[in-house]
Amino acid sequence: MAVSSTRRFVAAVGALAAVGAAAACGGTSSGGPKQNTGATATASTASTGSAGSSAQPADGSGGAGTASSSPEPAAKEGGIARVAQWPPGSSPNAIFPFLSVDQLSAQNTGQFQYFFFRPLYFVGLDDKLAIDYEMGPADKPSWSSDGLTVTIPMKPGWKWSNGEQVTGKDVQFWLNMMKAESASLGYYNAPNASIGVKYIPDSITATKASDSSISITFDQAYSPDFIVGNSLQTVTPMPLAWDVVDDKGTKGKCAEDTLDSPTLKADCDPVYKYLSAAGKDTKTFASNPLWKVVDGPWQLKDFDAGTGGFTIARNPQFGGEHKPHLDEVDFVAYPTADAEWKALQAGSDRPESLQLGVFPSADTPRYDKDDIQKDNPLAGAGYSVEKGALLDSTSFYKLNFGSKAHGALFRQRYFTKVLQDEMDQQGAIDGPLKGWGYPTTGLVPGFPAGNPLSPAAKGAAAQFDPDEARTLMQAHGWDLSTTPATCKSAGTADNQCGAGIKAGDKAEFTLEYPTDYQALDPVLAAYRDAAAKAGVAITLKTKPQDALAGELTACAPDRPAGCEWDAILYGGWVYSLLPTADTLLTSGAGANIYGFSDPRFDAAVAKTVKSSEPQAWYDYEDYASAVALPMVWMPNQVWVWAVAKGFHDSGQDAYQGFAPEFWYYTR
C-alpha cells in the first residue's frame, strides 16, 4: 500500500494494548503528527538484532500467507469471499484520497481507498520493505544528472474506468490541490529548518506534465530513494473527472493550473470543498458518480453507512498487472471481537461464513514455531492459523526530557539504558502475547527484513539485562540501599549522576498508560518491580486514552502542561519506508514533543534524507544508538488470522493494508 506520508503516532499502545482490547494497533489510527519515510534501494537487510526465545515468530520471514515455503496452490477463478473488517468496530469513513489528519488510517487507506485509487508507487507488499513497481500506475522514474529533476513515466495501459488513461496531468492535479490545500492534507509536512529540508509540494520548483509522464524539479538534491519511497508513494493521481465544483458537474480549474499559478488557491478551493464533502458522505460512497471513476483493480459495489460494511467487485477496465481472481469481496463489519469470534466458531462451510478473520487474544493458540497449527481451536470449524504481517514500526513509551520534575534524569544516557535494560520484551511476548510478537530493537526497526542496520545498531539492540541496569546506577553515583535510589555523587563526571541532578535527588518518575488495556497491567507491574531492584521507583497510573493524548504536548512557555508529564505509554511510530527520524525527533519537528534537541543528531538525519550512501544510514544509526533518546522500546504484536480451508490469502503488507487481488479459492 502507499503509506500515509509519514510516520505517525499510533493511538493504540503498540501491540500490547491490543491484547487487552479489540482496539486498533499499529497504524490504524493516527494520534499525532505525521512523517515521511522512503524506500531505500541499498542492498542492506535487517538483522533480527535482538536476543529472543525460540517462541518468537519474528523471523523476518513475512506476514500471513508466507508462513510456508511450499508452492502456492492453483487459483480457482471467480467467487465471492467474506472477510472480517480489522480490527472489529472500525470501518472506513472517507473515500476521497486527499485525507485530513483525522482521516489517515489503515481503514481508510490500505483497507479501502487503495482498492479503487492507486498511489503512484505501492510499498510493503508481502511484508517486504520495498516498492513494488507492478502495483501502481507509474513505472520506475529516472533522474537528471544534477539530481534535481525526476521524470515519472506513466504506464500506457493503466486507465480510469471511464476509459481515460492515467496521465501525468492526473498527478499534476493532485500536486496542485496539495499546494493549494496543504493545511487540510494529512500527508503534508511543513519545511524542517533544523535539517534544511522541504517536503512536497514546498520542495518542488517546477513541473512539466504530459499524457505519458510528469517531470518534477526540486529545490535541492535529495536522496532518490527518499523522494520515491517517502514522498511520491503518497501521491495519488486524480481523474480529471473530479475537477468539478458541484453535483451538476460544473467544471473546475484546479487540474489546469501549475504550482506557481497566481490563481491556484482560488481555482482549487471550490473543487476541494466539493470533493471533500462528498468524500465524507458514507451514504453515497457507492452511488456517487465521482467514486465510480477508479483506476485500481476493484470498484465499490455497496457500502452500508449504518454498519460500515462494504462490498468490492472486480474492475473490468483495470489495466494493471495483477487482475483479481475473485469476483467480489464482502468486508463484514463486526461491532466487537466477540461477535466476530462467534461467526468463526460457526464454521467455514456456510454461505455466510467468513474466509478471513482474526483470532481474539483470549482464544489465540500459543505460538509453536514447529507447528503453527498446534492447538488451533478453529481446526474443527474449518480454519487454519496464519501469522499476520510484521509492521514496519516501533513500539515504545515516551520520556519527557522537558519534565520539570525528572527531565534532567531522562536526559542521562546511562539512565535511559537502565530503563531499557529492565524492559523484558521477550517476557511480554512469551506471556500475554502467547509468542505472537517481536521486539522493538531500536530507532530503526529490526523487523521485518529490509531496513539498513549498522553493526553498531545491531550491537546496541534493546535487550533485557537487569544486572547491567544495577551496575550502571551504582557506577553513576546512586545509593541503591533504598528504592528510590538517591544521588550521592552529584556532578557531570563519568562516575556521577549527571547534569541537572542534585545530591539527594531520587530516581523516580510516573509512567501513565491507558485504562482498559488489562494486558498491560502485568507487563508494567513486572517492569516496575524489575526497575525497583536497580533503585528506580516507577509509579504506574492509568488514564483514558483521550486524556493521555491531551497531555502529549511539548514543554514550552505557552504550553506549561507539556512540562508536567514524566512518561506516557500512548503508542508507537509506524514508518513508511525509509525509517529516518526527520519529523519524529529532529529539533522543532512537529512530532517532537519530548524536549529532545541535538544538532549532531539533526545533521545525521539530514544526510539520510539527502544522500543515498549507505554510510549516511550507518552514521545516523550509530549516533542514535549512542545517545539518550526519549523512548523506551516495547514489543510489537503479530496478529493471528483464521483462514478458511480452501482459501488463499497472500498479498498482505507491512502497513496493515490488504491486496485482495491476490486472494482466491483453491477448491
Q: What is the pLDDT of residues 567-613, one digit of tens each?
A: 999 988 988 789 999 989 999 898 999 999 999 999 999 999 999 89
pLDDT for res 70:
57
Under 8 Å between Cβ of 384 and 641: no
Question: Given a cut of 80, is residue 125 above it in pLDDT?
Answer: yes
Any residues with CB less than 8 A from the CB of 335 and at least 6 apart, and which? Answer: 88, 89
Instruction: Give the start-to-end residue ranges of the domains of the chain.
Output: 7-70+100-280, 393-464+508-637
Q: Are 122 and 651 in contact (CB under 8 A)?
A: no
CB 121 within 8 Å of CB 131: yes
Residue 69 pLDDT > 60: no
Backbone angle region of 588, left / alpha / beta, with phi > 0 → left and psi within -120 to 50 → alpha? left
pLDDT of residue 37: 31
The pLDDT score that the predictor gives to residue 329 is 98
Asked if the model's pLDDT at residue 650 lies above 90, the reply is no
**Averaged pLDDT, 45-63:** 33
Q: Cell numbers at residue 216, please? A: 518534477
Q: What is the CATH number of domain 7-70+100-280?
A: 3.90.76.10
Query: In terms of Cα–Cα distance, which of 247, 256, 236 is closest to 112?
Result: 236
pLDDT score of 392: 83
Number of DSSP helices (H) and strands (E) in the chain, helices first: 15, 26
The answer on pLDDT for 243 being more than 70 is yes
Q: Is the link from the previous residue into 452 a cis peptide, with omega within 30 of 0? A: no
pLDDT score at 448: 85
DSSP state of 74: P
Check residue 652 and give its pLDDT: 64
| Cβ neighbours, 10 Å, residue 568 | 23
User: Given this model, what pLDDT does residue 516 score?
Assistant: 82
d(CA 162, CA 342): 42
Region 361-365: mean pLDDT is 93
Average pLDDT over the chain, rounded to an integer: 89
Mean pLDDT in residue range 352-368: 96
Amino acid at 433: L
- Give SS3 for 660: helix
> How is residue 270 annotated by DSSP?
H
pLDDT in tens, 15-49: 344 333 322 222 333 333 233 333 222 222 222 23
Of the ranges 123-132, 494-503, 518-527, which one carries the lowest mean pLDDT score?
123-132
pLDDT of 62 above 80: no
Question: In this model, does residue 541 exceed pLDDT 80?
Answer: yes
- Measuring CA to CA, which residue among 218, 175, 224 is closest to residue 197? 218
pLDDT digits (tens, 9 = 90+) for 133-169: 999 999 999 999 999 999 999 999 999 999 999 999 9
Instruction: Tell the residue number behind the cell numbers 542492506, with chain if given.
Output: 44
Angle subtended at Cα 296 by Cα 293 and Cα 300, rounded to the nearest 5 degrees: 60
pLDDT single digits (tens) 9-23: 444 434 344 333 322
393-464+508-637: which CATH architecture?
Roll (3.10)
* E strand or H helix that includes residue 524: helix 520-532
Instruction: For residue 14, give the amino acid letter.
Output: G
User: What pLDDT does residue 519 have?
Assistant: 81
Show the cell assigned to 59: 523471523
User: Could you write out the DSSP letters of every residue in 564-631?
Assistant: T--EEEEEEEE--SS---TTTTSTT-TT--S----HHHHHHHHHHHH---HHHHHHHHHHHHHS--SE
Q: How far is CA 101 from CA 5, 30, 79, 190, 473, in A?
A: 11, 7, 36, 14, 42
The pLDDT tens digits for 437-469 are 999 999 999 888 888 899 999 999 999 999 999
Return the pLDDT at 108: 96
What pLDDT does residue 30 have?
31
Burial class of residue 473, CB neighbours in 10 A (0-12, 13-18, 19+): buried
The three cell numbers of residue 516 are 482498559
CA distance 664 to 646: 9
pLDDT value at 655 more than 60: yes
